[in-house]
Chains A and B, each alone.
Chain A
Amino acid sequence: MQLKTDEAQLRRRLIAASCALLATSAAHSQEAAITGFVQDVLKEWQFESALAYYHEDGRIQAVEPVVSAGRDYGDGGSIGLNFTFDALSGSSPNGALPSHAPQTFASPSAKSFTSAKHLYTTAPGNLPVDPNYSDARVAVGADWTLPLTRLSRLTLGGKVSFEDDFYSGSANVAVAHDFNDKNTTVSFGVNDESDIIQPIGNTPVPLSDYSAFAKEGNKSKNGVGALLGVTQVMTRNWLTELNLSVDRFTGYLNDPYKFTSIINSAGGTTGYEYENRPDQRVRKSAYWENRVSWSYRLSTALSLRYMSDDWGVRSDTAQLHLRWSLSDRDRYVEPTFRWYRQTAADFFTPFILTKPTTDFEASDSRLAAFHAMTYGVKYAQKLPGLGSRPESEISIRAEYYQQTLDVRTPVPQALQGLDLYPGVKAVLVQIGWRF
């Protein structure tokens, strides 16, 4: 034992001697040490910033700056912070059906139809939209990953967001464990979200007559969810990931600004009533992604998602990303294709013919059957990094989104000439800078 103690001391002394050697030479190195707070921050944190402009044909537009910062501690631990600001403005569909007659609506802040400044009118044949829609959102999120053992990690995350009429806070906890020489990672996480809804002009009473201005106070909703994920390294160039998740939202799940046209058998609009959705929604989804590096220049990511909920909405998504590197990887282009299809919620109805027999109804096109295609392309250029950074990247991304509604509800003869379900066409342009 005595021998062992002496020998171990030898190693400790050797470590001390090595440290002394390297400290001496480092201190007298010709290379100046990097000092200064800004350089330190730049050295340790990775930043990503982007500015997106989104424009829906004839509807809303949005400007969204995003900044995120991440720091990786190298031992499996990391910190991520992100900040998002959204400014939306324009016209938002209010849920009513186009009509042969002009339709006059009151802004959400109105208390009656008496004040002209709160009113707007939709021309015959047009989809009714509230032209004064505007909202601003600020969201701040953070997550922290810390190693538990050599093979497992714990992630704690939280996010808050504020809008003019909506406040949301959420927290999540996840654990990940590596198996099989770190070729397999299994993760499990839970999250909890609490929202407060304070609609402009208060909350309309569900199913109430639009012209009655029957309003209630603030509402809330709560969501809980769980996610199980498996990531598997299949070969050196092929990674596959499978995620299963379930979540459940309870509370106020209506859109307080949406109402449904009541029409008579001749196709005339006789009134509107506010929508009413169930106060619980349970959603299950499965997601499968395969990332394959085909060559030094080409890699692809193909993902498939299936979602179904107890409202009767089932959706399928298929997405393909191709990344093609040019000229020594200093530049790349990334075309993207996304196909989406969903079925309608059981209680979706584009209009009400007679007073409904069901308690639930909504004409919100997001609950209708529709399919959509997204075509996008991103171009990125690597640049020399700031300060001591090896590189930075600027990119521009453009996407075109086209949504087609698949509503099959029979309509009265008189309405058949109208474009009742115009769908959505939108473009998104985003410039990004990573440094």
Chain B
Amino acid sequence: MPDEGLVVEARGADLLAVRFTAMASPCEVLVPSMSHHAALAIAAVAAQETWRIEKKFSRYRDDSITAWMHRNRGIAIEVDEETAALMDFASRCFDLSEGLFDITSGVLRRVWRFDGSDRIPDAAAVAALLPLIGFAKLQWNPPRLLLPEGMELDFGGIGKEYAVDRAYELLAARHTIPFLVNLGGDLRANRRPSHGPWQVGIERPDTEREPSLLLDLEHGALATSGDSRRYLLRDGVRYGHILHPGTGWPVPGAPRSVTVAASSCTEAGLLATMALLHGSRARAFLDEEGARYWVLQ
């Protein structure tokens, strides 16, 4: 069944939501009210693309391309075109952010566990990981990659936004009806529904359910970076989960979350992530970029 794992529900009189779960997040495709099988047929394309990307790039799966690359450290391997495109994109982002955005910084998770406790890692343990971080240390000659021993790649920082854009493109190539693809809060819509703009809620950091901000979106993408529930607290100091790839320590003064509007979800997500990496300069960075954004401090 192409629509297995999909659930349709009405959202008011005018909208249907087709819900599914992917990338450990609640996902949905919103369409105007129509027959359920039509809505399922539309959403199934988006869900299958999302699941495909999750399966291919997940760092939690043994059969993912990420796991395969990790198994082949130290030897030159040739990657497929989609993986190469993502590697190229990560490379451009590393350059543009002057090293701030780095898909090799995931190794820091070995010492940093943001579980709300006060377990701050030992400075020496953090320092010991720094040699394993740095996109420039990879030998990336598309499509050939040599991943040095001990290093890790993590597409988690761009995978969800990429999946939103991919699912969006597939639906846009097929339909002209208004639709919105929402993968765990990162979303993109093609056009305004006839009854009024899409309404998107952004969560307040201190409450889980109550949206603190309701935005009207006609078309375009929104992406949110940051997670208000992932932090450590010690001696009254809050350690946010955004780690600087150069120091291995949380970026001081980083907002709890940043939401950015842009034409694609990938662009919105990168702007939001880069803003967090600018710490207390997050707003200034977004202002300089001329971005439309919402910051929860």
Residue numbers of A with Cβ under 8 A of B are 3-4, 7-8, 10-11, 13-15, 17-22, 24-26, 28-29, 31, 33-34, 43-44, 46, 72, 74-76, 181-183, 233, 236-237, 293, 296, 299, 328-330, 382, 384-385, 388-391
Given A15-B263, A24-B81, A74-B191, also A382-B34 (CB < 8 A): yes
Chain B contacts with A in 166-182, Cβ cutoff 8 A: 166, 169-170, 173-178
Q: Name the B residues within 8 Å of A384 (CB-CB).
A: 37-38, 41
Pick from B33, B89, B290: contact of A20, CB below 8 A.
B89
B276 proximal to A (CB < 8 A)? no
Residue of A nearest to B49 (CB): A31
Select the residue from B166, B174, B191 with max chain A CB neighbours within 10 A.
B174
Q: Are A13 and B96 in contact (CB under 8 A)?
A: yes
Q: Name the B residues within 8 Å of A44 (CB-CB).
A: 176
Give A301 to B152 CA distance when docked, in angstroms: 61
Give A5 to B119 CA distance when docked, in angstroms: 42
Task: Decide if the interface of chain A is mainly helix, strand, loop or mixed.
Answer: mixed
Closest Cβ of chain B to A208, distance in Å, is: 54
Select the residue from A10, A15, A74, A390 with max chain B CB neighbours within 10 A.
A390
Q: Are A21 and B162 in contact (CB under 8 A)?
A: yes
Show 7 A/B contacts (Cβ-Cβ < 8 Å), sorted by A.
A11-B289, A11-B291, A33-B173, A44-B176, A74-B192, A236-B12, A329-B35
Q: Name the B residues within 8 Å of A20 (CB-CB).
A: 85, 88-89, 92
Give A29 to B85 CA distance when docked, in angstroms: 12
Q: Name the A residues within 8 Å of B290 (CB-CB).
A: 8, 11
Residue of B nearest to A6 (CB): B288
Instruction: Produce 1/0 per residue, B254-293, CB < 8 A to A.
Output: 0000000011101100110000000000000100111100
Residue of B nearest to A236 (CB): B12
Pick from A21, A28, A293, A382: contact of B88, CB below 8 A.
A21
Q: Are A330 and B37 in contact (CB under 8 A)?
A: yes
Q: Are A11 and B271 in contact (CB under 8 A)?
A: yes
B93 proximal to A (CB < 8 A)? yes
B42 proximal to A (CB < 8 A)? yes
Q: Are A328 and B289 in contact (CB under 8 A)?
A: no
Pick from A15, A46, A182, A299: contact of B267, CB below 8 A.
A15
Q: Are A21 and B35 in contact (CB under 8 A)?
A: no
Q: Name the A residues within 8 Å of B166 (CB-CB).
A: 22, 25-26, 29
Given A293-B13, A296-B10, also A390-B288 (CB < 8 A): no
Residue of A nearest to B194 (CB): A72
Closest Cβ of chain A to B96, distance in Å, is: 5
Q: Are A329 and B33 in contact (CB under 8 A)?
A: yes
Instruction: Produce 1/0 per residue, B60-101, CB < 8 A to A.
Output: 000000000000000000000110111011001100110000
Shortest beta-carbon contacts, A-B, top 6: A74-B191, A293-B13, A24-B85, A7-B288, A17-B92, A391-B38
Closest Cβ of chain B to A420, distance in Å, is: 50
Residue of B nearest to A183 (CB): B196
Pick from B86, B285, B289: contact of A21, CB below 8 A.
B86
Residue of A nearest to B91 (CB): A17
Give A18 to B269 CA distance when docked, in angstroms: 10
B104 proximal to A (CB < 8 A)? no
B190 proximal to A (CB < 8 A)? yes
B54 proximal to A (CB < 8 A)? no
Given A17-B92, A296-B10, A391-B38, also A24-B266 (CB < 8 A): no
Closest Cβ of chain A to B294, distance in Å, is: 17
Select the residue from B42, B96, B191 with max chain A CB neighbours within 10 A.
B96
Q: Are A34 and B85 in contact (CB under 8 A)?
A: no
Q: Are B89 and A17 in contact (CB under 8 A)?
A: yes
Give A18 to B267 CA distance when docked, in angstroms: 6
Closest Cβ of chain A to B203, distance in Å, is: 22
Give A10 to B175 CA distance when docked, in angstroms: 33
Closest Cβ of chain A to B1, distance in Å, is: 15
Residue of B nearest to A150 (CB): B218
Give A109 to B238 CA distance when docked, in angstroms: 96
Give A18 to B10 CA distance when docked, in angstroms: 33
Q: Name the A residues within 8 Å of B175 (CB-CB).
A: 43, 388-390
12 further A-B pairs in the complex, CB-CB below 8 A; given A13-B92, A293-B13: A10-B96, A10-B97, A13-B96, A14-B267, A15-B267, A22-B169, A33-B173, A34-B174, A44-B176, A72-B176, A72-B191, A236-B13
Give A17 to B41 CA distance when docked, in angstroms: 31
